[in-house]
Structure 1
Amino acid sequence: RASKIVYWLETKYEILPEVCGSFENWKEAPSAAYDFDLLWCDTAIAADRFVKLKLYQKMNHFVGMSSITRKNNLGRNLLRMRKQFPKEYKFFPDTWILPTDLSDFKAQFNAKNKTFIVKPDNGCQGKGIFLVRDLEKVPMDFSTTYVAQRYIHRPFLLDGFKFDLRLYVFVVGCDPLRIFLHKRGLVRLASEPYVEPTGKNIGQAMVHLTNYAINKMNPDFVENTNPDDARDGHKRSWEAVQDHLRSCGHDVDQLVAEIEDLIVKTLIAVQPSLSHFYHSCQPEDVENAMCFEILGFDVMLDHKLQPWLLEVNHAPSFAAESELDQVVKTEVLTDSFVLLNFSPDERRRKKREAREKMEQRAMGVSTKQSMEERAVLEQQIARERTVWEDAHLGRFKRLYPSEAKEREYLQVHDAAVGIWEMLMGGTSRRSVRLTEAPPEDGDGRPDAEGKQERRKAAGEPKSEKEKEAPKRTPEQVREVVERLMAGCSARPRPGERGRRRGSKGA
């Protein structure tokens, strides 16, 4: 154990144990209760499980990532950002959350020949997706939440087929965000030639939908046999297709830059909530390194080669049903695990520090780290980690953070923080940044928390805002978390609690 990295996998995919077993000093844990370094789970991991992790352990999901991986939450969060930045957040189709936006959605049918694609908010693999052109076909009995989007009528085609991109985005930190895009990716084609939607053909899923799970059922579906061939099969290599587009005279560099931009902006929209959940669950961690996530960003290109974000998957498939799948997914997983920088020495160091802190507490000699000291330490660790990551990227490309990117997205990030504070009804934790000194206020104490501590030390009375904000009970905290993960305000509207109580007792 002393010299090994121990992993525990809760997965149905054979490629995971294959990749983990390929590392020389890794071994599988005998049970979930074992002292592991890496926890991998195909499904989302509950917050209470994350709370119990030790500082040297890592898991493959962030608490709260459902803010963008559930379709309705993604729509809500991006629409909020679009209100403040209409041009910056125009990379996703017009979206309606049903039944919430039903009246506005109905008004869209006043114009002729409009097509919309409707999806269940928690669906996957194309299940439950359908196209509508008539108001009468919109379901009015909403037993679940749906997301409706304007259909992209003129998609870019490959050999006459509609397609989308499955891009692998690696997030290895939330404060600051640490975002990487793998150069490998998949191009997934529909298995029937594309025709514009009409009332007669909107039910032809294999024409209009590009989901692999749907199209592989077509007897005419062709598996890729050559990953380097951009015209082989109904699933192709993104790298090969990029080369093909360049040979046709398209500006692929501009396309890739726009894709990278939409990825960063999507994650920035929910960074404050990810950071809040993370620090609430693991308040002692200063390294921002206990969670990681491989996200599947699904992007479609229109006839002008403009990218459109369709959805974000928190559990992209790692099934290897072809040579192309095996090559792409093996490289994505291998490069991801390298970038996580597992180290037996680091584990021993953190265990030793944890023991020392416990002994100091028992002896009554422990000293609490000031907020200023913590801010300096977090920034120092973030800078050192950035240098290490840049030397071990493999086939990943860093999208964020860097000094240039922090400046570029500063206004957008500040807006996301403002939205979070409005929903939360309080002050957000100041984000760790590479480009600025830790924030100081007067006597060197960071932000609003420092002000509160100084007033308390000076014997000053609480502000009106502090008096109005009593400490939440555990039940209220759970309710807040559920509301925020669903993209709603942390504070129920006036009368909402009363209505709930009334309906419960009725």
Structure 2
Amino acid sequence: MSEENSSTIINDSSGETKRRTNPRKRSVRKRRSLYIEPKPVCFIGQGNNAELIEEILKSIGYENRPDKVDEYKFKWVQCSYEVNWNLFKDGEQIVNHIQGEDYFTNKLQLYQSLQTYENTSQTIIKRPPTYLSLNEYLPQTFKLDEKHDRDILFNLHKPGDVWICKPSCLNQGKGIYIVRDISSLKDKYDQLEANPRSRSSTFRQQNKTIVQRYIMNPLLIHGKKFDIRCYMLISSVQPLLVHYHSGYIRLSMLLSVEGILSLKVRLFPLKYMQKKDPKYYEMKEDTAWTMEQFNDYMNKYILPKKKLPPNWVLEVLPKQIERIMLNVIESIRMRLKRRIGCFGLYGYDFMIDDDLKVLLIEINVNPALSTNTNTLVQAIPPVVKESILISIECFEKIHHAEKIFPLKSLQTFQCIYNELERKSSLPLIRQKRQLSPSKATITNTDDKALREKTNFFYSVDRTQLNQQENELLSTLHRSLTHSQLMRTSKSVNDIHQVQIQRRPLTRPKSIRSRSKSSNRIKPNEPAQSS
């Protein structure tokens, strides 16, 4: 029934026209549900300002349920091992950790990832424009659990050199110690080598340590040492989306005077270490600066002396930090497990030397979120809230197959890596002319092995092809020799060709049926006598 015929016009005694509705017509207004739609459930782990996370999630409609350890829509915890990855539901749940993040948040694995990326990139002529060699952004580093690295360190050491030893799995400056006398370090590891217990894998895993050259000429703020805490947000791993935030400045309470024995106190301006000082609560407001304050200081005291234009902090420094972050991402992007719903907020620590060289110190998987100074109140809560909103928006758009960009939640973060638009900076090697003539070429034995491997790939189904491709891409980043790199890249190309050319195959006739048809006597054809 049309809307015009659904009512009747009548005139009452007063001459006014009234409309009488048809009682058979259904009401247009929808009836409300008898039950209130439940709020999405979140689980928030304790510690590291969990109240801030709960406040943010409640403001966007989530309900915190401490009993829902695995039955949640959103989960925020401090460590990755607090997530039951076997029960995690891809595309249905959101969690603030990524499987494989240890490859860049663990100090030793970060160095190994960057070292492998550099070795692999050196075999490629056309390197990405963001590529940096290790000595451009990382202090000289050695692995103390490897004898080869220790021997290089002991031979390289000169009187007056200072080294910093860092346990690979600790943060907040825990376990760090200074080495001035290299002979004491050598004696320590000689004794460990002689101890049979030190040969066990468990002991080696617990005692993995890196040693870095101490930065002797750091840039100072009013005579105090400082570092930069900025943030990297991976809002999605499938596709891989990475964002950068400039963060804030952390200052030391003590003057950096040469010859002070308490070097550990002024090693890093960390709140964890400075809180032990009795004067901390009197001076805590001076231990954190905004980037605008740092920019004003540089414009007034540092840049004129170096004859550099103003606003170096706002214009040049972010580009250098972003470039370092991109090198980190390129070194580990193949090792991240691609699961929809995983994101991560990571704290990057940088230092600047007197020549304005930006150096990466470490990357934290669980950056401190406490807000005990006015600067931190201004800096940290907006960063955390925006990172959560961006990650949820990316998740919802991916879940509903919508276009991800533009992101409405993107305010102060800047997207520096978009896998949807970016080509790999480690291109697959298809032709020998892409390689340096001085490098080795593939041998006949390698070709034979490659053909056998390719024939095997043709015989497996599509799922197995994808698994083999992931393994080969992981091998690509671990390849240290040129021939290995060539074989791995060529094999990945062959897999791509298989996936492109693969078509549904019709069932072939059996040999027996073909033999019968071939022996069948055609009409008007005499039979052959035996």
Same fold (TM over 0.5): yes
Match of 2:145 in 1: 99
Counterparts of 1:10-29 in structure 2, within 5 Å, are 10-12=45-47, 13=49, 14-23=51-60, 25-29=61-65
- Find 1:63's aligned residue among 99, 111, 115: 99
Instruction: State whether residues 42 and 72 of structure 2, in contact with CA within 8 Å, keep that contact through their aligned partners in structure 1.
Output: yes
Instruction: State whether residues 236 and 391 of structure 2, in contact with CA within 8 Å, keep that contact through their aligned partners in structure 1.
Output: no
1:388 aligns with 2:406: yes
Amino acid aligned to 1:261: R
1:450 aligns with 2:468: no
1:162 aligns with 2:208: no
Counterparts of 1:477-496 in structure 2, within 5 Å, are none
Q: Following the alignment from structure 1 to structure 2, what is the Cα–Cα distance between the partners of residues 123 and 344?
A: 31
Q: Following the alignment from structure 1 to structure 2, what is the Cα–Cα distance between the partners of residues 176 and 125?
A: 31
Match of 2:256 in 1: 194
Deviation (angstroms), 1:93: 0.9
Counterparts of 1:91-490 in structure 2, within 5 Å, are 91-100=137-146, 101-109=149-157, 111-138=158-185, 139-140=188-189, 141=192, 143=203, 144-183=207-246, 185-196=247-258, 201-221=260-280, 233-248=286-301, 249=303, 250=310, 251-252=312-313, 253-274=315-336, 277-278=337-338, 282=339, 289-341=340-392, 384-385=403-404, 387-389=405-407, 391-401=408-418, 406=422, 410-412=424-426, 420-421=475-476, 423=478, 447=496, 450=499
Deviation (angstroms), 1:334: 1.1
Judged with a 3 Å threshold, the aligned counterparts in structure 2 of structure 1 residues 62 and 448 are, in CA distance, closer, same or farther, namely farther
Amino acid aligned to 1:236: W
Q: Following the alignment from structure 2 to structure 1, what is the Cα–Cα distance between the partners of residues 102 and 216?
A: 29
Structure 2 alignment gaps of length 5 or more = 1-35, 123-130, 193-197, 304-309, 430-469, 509-530
Structure showing greater Rg: 2
Instruction: State whether residues 288 and 373 of structure 2, in contact with CA within 8 Å, keep that contact through their aligned partners in structure 1.
Output: no
Cα deviation digits, residues 367-423 of structure 1 (max 9, x gap): xxxxxxxxxxxxx86xx21x232x43121111112788x36xx43576998664364
Q: Following the alignment from structure 2 to structure 1, what is the Cα–Cα distance between the partners of residues 414 and 56?
A: 21
CA RMSD after TM alignment: 3.7
Instruction: State whether residues 91 and 341 of structure 2, in contact with CA within 8 Å, keep that contact through their aligned partners in structure 1.
Output: yes
Q: Following the alignment from structure 1 to structure 2, what is the Cα–Cα distance between the partners of residues 265 and 105?
A: 25
Deviation (angstroms), 1:222: 5.6
Deviation (angstroms), 1:324: 2.5
Judged with a 3 Å threshold, the aligned counterparts in structure 2 of structure 1 residues 148 and 458 are, in CA distance, closer, same or farther, namely farther
Q: Following the alignment from structure 2 to structure 1, what is the Cα–Cα distance between the partners of residues 297 and 67?
A: 47
Q: Following the alignment from structure 2 to structure 1, what is the Cα–Cα distance between the partners of residues 344 and 64?
A: 20
Q: Following the alignment from structure 1 to structure 2, what is the Cα–Cα distance between the partners of residues 18 and 95?
A: 41
Judged with a 3 Å threshold, the aligned counterparts in structure 2 of structure 1 residues 51 and 105 are, in CA distance, closer, same or farther, namely farther
Cα deviation digits, residues 108-156 of structure 1 (max 9, x gap): 21x2321111111111111111111221232413750111011111001
Instruction: State whether residues 165 and 299 of structure 1, in contact with CA within 8 Å, keep that contact through their aligned partners in structure 2.
Output: yes
Q: Following the alignment from structure 1 to structure 2, what is the Cα–Cα distance between the partners of residues 395 and 57?
A: 26
Judged with a 3 Å threshold, the aligned counterparts in structure 2 of structure 1 residues 413 and 262 are, in CA distance, closer, same or farther, namely farther
Deviation (angstroms), 1:211: 2.0
Query: With structure 2 as the length reference, what TM-score do the two structures score?
Result: 0.65
Instruction: State whether residues 45 and 63 of structure 1, in contact with CA within 8 Å, keep that contact through their aligned partners in structure 2.
Output: no
Equivalent residues, number: 387
Task: Name the SS for the 1:205 alignment partner.
Answer: coil
Amino acid aligned to 2:214: Y
Task: Name the SS for the 1:153 alignment partner.
Answer: coil
Task: Name the SS for the 1:126 alignment partner.
Answer: coil
Q: Following the alignment from structure 1 to structure 2, what is the Cα–Cα distance between the partners of residues 170 and 242?
A: 24
Cα deviation digits, residues 333-391 of structure 1 (max 9, x gap): 111122123599879x87xxxxxxxxxxxxxxxxxxxxxxxxxxxxx86xx21x232x4
Judged with a 3 Å threshold, the aligned counterparts in structure 2 of structure 1 residues 413 and 270 are, in CA distance, closer, same or farther, namely farther
Amino acid aligned to 2:360: L
Q: Following the alignment from structure 1 to structure 2, what is the Cα–Cα distance between the partners of residues 422 and 342?
A: 31
Instruction: State whether residues 191 and 206 of structure 1, in contact with CA within 8 Å, keep that contact through their aligned partners in structure 2.
Output: no
Cα deviation digits, residues 436-469 of structure 1 (max 9, x gap): xxx999xxxx81551795699899xxxxxxxxxx
Task: Name the SS for the 1:328 alignment partner.
Answer: helix
Deviation (angstroms), 1:239: 3.5
Instruction: State whether residues 334 and 473 of structure 2, in contact with CA within 8 Å, keep that contact through their aligned partners in structure 1.
Output: no
Instruction: State whether residues 191 and 218 of structure 1, in contact with CA within 8 Å, keep that contact through their aligned partners in structure 2.
Output: no
Q: Could you tell which deviates more after superposition, 233-242 or 412-421?
A: 412-421
Deviation (angstroms), 1:105: 1.7
Task: Name the SS for the 2:242 alignment partner.
Answer: strand
Deviation (angstroms), 1:195: 2.8
Structure 1 alignment gaps of length 5 or more = 226-231, 283-288, 351-379, 431-438, 460-506
Q: Following the alignment from structure 1 to structure 2, what is the Cα–Cα distance between the partners of residues 422 and 440?
A: 16
Task: Name the SS for the 1:246 alignment partner.
Answer: helix
Task: Name the SS for the 1:206 alignment partner.
Answer: coil
Instruction: State whether residues 39 and 59 of structure 1, in contact with CA within 8 Å, keep that contact through their aligned partners in structure 2.
Output: yes
Task: Name the SS for the 1:11 alignment partner.
Answer: coil
Judged with a 3 Å threshold, the aligned counterparts in structure 2 of structure 1 residues 191 and 429 are, in CA distance, closer, same or farther, namely farther
Judged with a 3 Å threshold, the aligned counterparts in structure 2 of structure 1 residues 74 and 33 are, in CA distance, closer, same or farther, namely closer
Q: Following the alignment from structure 1 to structure 2, what is the Cα–Cα distance between the partners of residues 20 and 32?
A: 15
Cα deviation digits, residues 461-496 of structure 1 (max 9, x gap): xxxxxxxxxxxxxxxxxxxxxxxxxxxxxxxxxxxx
Deviation (angstroms), 1:32: 2.0
Judged with a 3 Å threshold, the aligned counterparts in structure 2 of structure 1 residues 456 and 158 are, in CA distance, closer, same or farther, namely farther
Q: Following the alignment from structure 2 to structure 1, what is the Cα–Cα distance between the partners of residues 489 and 241?
A: 17
Task: Name the SS for the 2:241 alignment partner.
Answer: strand
Match of 1:361 in 2: none
Judged with a 3 Å threshold, the aligned counterparts in structure 2 of structure 1 residues 344 and 396 are, in CA distance, closer, same or farther, namely closer
Instruction: State whether residues 56 and 346 of structure 1, in contact with CA within 8 Å, keep that contact through their aligned partners in structure 2.
Output: no
Q: Following the alignment from structure 2 to structure 1, what is the Cα–Cα distance between the partners of residues 111 and 394?
A: 39
Judged with a 3 Å threshold, the aligned counterparts in structure 2 of structure 1 residues 451 and 166 are, in CA distance, closer, same or farther, namely same
Deviation (angstroms), 1:218: 1.7
Cα deviation digits, residues 24-56 of structure 1 (max 9, x gap): x22223522574221111111467526532422
Match of 2:78 in 1: 42
Cα deviation digits, residues 243-299 of structure 1 (max 9, x gap): 43234435221122101110111122100010xx22xxx5xxxxxx41110000011
